[in-house]
Amino acid sequence: MRLKNAKAISRMRDSGRMVAECFALLKENIRPGVSIRMLDQMVENYIAEQGAEPLYKGYKGSANNHPPFPGVICASVNHEVCHGLPDDRILNDGDIIGIDIGLKYKGYCGDACYTFPVGTISPAAERLLQVAEEALYVGIAAVKPGGYLYDIGRAIHDFADSKGVSVVREWGGHGIGRVLHDSPSVLHIRQNGRGPKMRPGMTFTIEPMINQGGHEWILLKDGWTVITKDGSLSAQYEHTVAVTKSGYEILTKL
Average pLDDT, the chain: 97
Assess whether pLDDT exceeds 80 at residue 141. yes
Distance CA 250, CA 153 (A): 17
Please indicate, yes or no, if residue 1 is contained in any of the structural domains. Answer: no
Distance CA 240, CA 173 (A): 9
Range of the domain at 80: 6-250
pLDDT digits (tens, 9 = 90+) for 192-229: 999 999 999 999 999 999 999 999 999 999 999 999 99
Quote the pLDDT of residue 63: 67
Please indicate, yes or no, if residue 104 is contained in any of the structural domains. Answer: yes
**The domain that contains 98 carries what CATH number?**
3.90.230.10
Assess whether pLDDT exceeds 90 at residue 64. no
Q: How many structural domains comprise the chain? A: 1
Confidence of residue 113 (pLDDT cuts 50, 70, 90): very high
Confidence of residue 61 (pLDDT cuts 50, 70, 90): confident
pLDDT digits (tens, 9 = 90+) for 12-49: 999 999 999 999 999 999 999 999 999 999 999 999 99
Please indicate, yes or no, if residue 150 is contained in any of the structural domains. Answer: yes
